[in-house]
Amino acid sequence: MSLSESMVLDALGTVNDPELNQDLVSLGMVERAVVDGSQVHIKVNLTTPACPMKAEIERDVKTAVGALPGVDTIHLEFGSNVRGAEQPSIPGVKNVVAVGSGKGGVGKSTVAANIAASLALEGASVGLLDADIYGPSQAKMFSVEGKRLMADDEKNIIPLRNHGVKIISVANLVEDGQALTWRGPILHGTLTQMLQQTVWGELDYLIVDLPPGTGDVQLSLTQLANVTGAVLVTTPQEMSMVVVRRAHTMLRKTHVPVLGLIENMAWYALPGGERDYIFGEGVGSTWAEQERIPVLGQIPISRSVRESGDAGTPIVISDPDTEQAQALRSAARTLAGQISIQSLNTLPVL
């Protein structure tokens, strides 16, 4: 029997996406399976360019197709097709991902900035919305401070852009140094404008950096957008965990899925290589495991994370080889995988 395309497709039908637990053909991930003599050309579209399972899928495809009689060479190409809501609540935006925690100062904004930059580095189209109306920090972290936002002919806001990410922050809407004293309705209106009257274009992921607390902004966001899920950020400190548990309860009440937990400032690396668990050890991850929440990553506390944030270039770009940058990039990939799982649960299979 000579090698045929249907044989290749049958072989691909035995390869599962390890996270999604379905085979590549049923998931509509095989764009091309062409046989040319003993050569096979395959293109697989992953559900995210940041796929944490890519190496495993590559190995399994090569094993399954390589076992077919008459196969000499496999040319395997990867693309991506991020899934999103069929009728997105924000036009063109496939996934809205909130980064929050409840507690102030645990590194939500730092994590949000690095996740956004990491996903962009993987090739995804990414937006970042700084929803911390009273204490915006992303304009500084992305070096777009002082730049004024412009509007297009239809009076929609054109987001700023840096490090491969489209970004909008309230800091760019008001005069520098001006204190904001907006109450509920104005706050809601501003958030509406930033979410829905911004020219985002096509986005795979819109990361929303939330202010601390479980207040108006969090509620407004869930009313204004169909949030794919939330990332909880915490330090391993019991005091921080109390607030995370509260945030978790709020998410449950507002039906926002929890995509995972990131334990920030998890340890300090001492010069000899030992770890000093300044804020406690693994308290967040232990809780997450009990709650069946995926632990996306543990990020050490380090001077370079703080300095890169202050300097306006997230550490995943400024110092990509450091342990802390690698931990953040890995967390972003794991998050992208969780978003794919979440989307698959809520979307009809292609």
Q: Which residues bind Mg ion (CB under 5 A)?
A: 108-109
Task: Considering only the stretches 24-32, 85-93, 104-112, 116-124, report the one whose residues sit in contact with ligand ATP under the rule CB under 6 A.
Answer: 104-112
116 binds ligand ATP (CB under 6 A): no
Q: How far is the CB of 165 from ligand ATP (least distance, A)?
A: 16
Q: Which residue is nearest to Mg ion (CB)?
A: 109
189 binds ligand ATP (CB under 6 A): no
The set of long-range contacts for 18-22, using a CB threshold of 8 Å and a minimum separation of 24, is 18/53, 18/56, 18/57, 19/52, 19/53, 19/337, 19/340, 19/341, 20/47, 20/340, 20/341, 20/344, 22/344, 22/349
234 binds ligand ATP (CB under 6 A): no
Q: Choosing among Mg ion, ligand ATP, none, which partner's interface includes residue 104 (Cβ < 5 to 8 Å by kind)?
A: ligand ATP
91 binds ligand ATP (CB under 6 A): no
3-state DSSP percent of the chain in helix, strand and coil, to 5: 35, 25, 40
DSSP state, residue 325:
H
313 binds ligand ATP (CB under 6 A): no
212 binds ligand ATP (CB under 6 A): yes
Q: Choosing among Mg ion, ligand ATP, none, which partner's interface includes residue 322 (Cβ < 5 to 8 Å by kind)?
A: none
Q: Choosing among ligand ATP, Mg ion, none, which partner's interface includes residue 306 (Cβ < 5 to 8 Å by kind)?
A: ligand ATP
Q: Which of 83, 94, 108, 163 binds ligand ATP (CB under 6 A)?
A: 108
Both tokens assigned to 185: 């309705």
Q: How far is the CB of 282 from Mg ion (least distance, A)?
A: 24
Q: Which of 102, 84, 100 is nearest to 92 (CA)?
A: 84
Rounded CA separation 121/98 (Å) = 19
**Cα 90 from chain centre:** 17
Are the beta carbons of 320 and 295 closer than 8 angstroms? no
Q: Which of 104, 184, 189, 201 binds ligand ATP (CB under 6 A)?
A: 104
Are the beta carbons of 147 and 162 closer than 8 angstroms? no
In the three-class reduction of DSSP (H, G, I as helix; E, B as strand; rest coil), residue 28 is classed as coil
> 185-209 burial, b for 16+ CB within 10 Å, e for fewer?
eebbebbeebbeebbbeebbbbbbb
Q: Choosing among Mg ion, ligand ATP, none, which partner's interface includes residue 162 (Cβ < 5 to 8 Å by kind)?
A: none
Rounded CA separation 318/95 (Å) = 26
DSSP state, residue 114:
H
Identity of the residue numbered 216: D
305 binds ligand ATP (CB under 6 A): yes
Q: Choosing among Mg ion, ligand ATP, none, which partner's interface includes residue 136 (Cβ < 5 to 8 Å by kind)?
A: none
Whose Cβ is closer to ligand ATP: residue 230's or residue 301's? 301
Q: How far is the CB of 314 from ligand ATP (least distance, A)?
A: 10
How long, in residues, is the chain?
A: 350
Q: Choosing among Mg ion, ligand ATP, none, which partner's interface includes residue 309 (Cβ < 5 to 8 Å by kind)?
A: ligand ATP
Query: 244-273: which residues touch ligand ATP (CB under 6 A)?
Result: 264-265
Q: Which of 306, 323, 346, 349 binds ligand ATP (CB under 6 A)?
A: 306
Whose Cβ is closer to ligand ATP: residue 58's or residue 281's? 281
With a CB cutoff of 8 Å and minimum separation 6, the contacts of 286 are none
Residues forming contacts to ligand ATP in the complex (CB under 6 A) are 104-110, 132, 135, 137, 211-212, 264-265, 299, 301-302, 305-306, 309
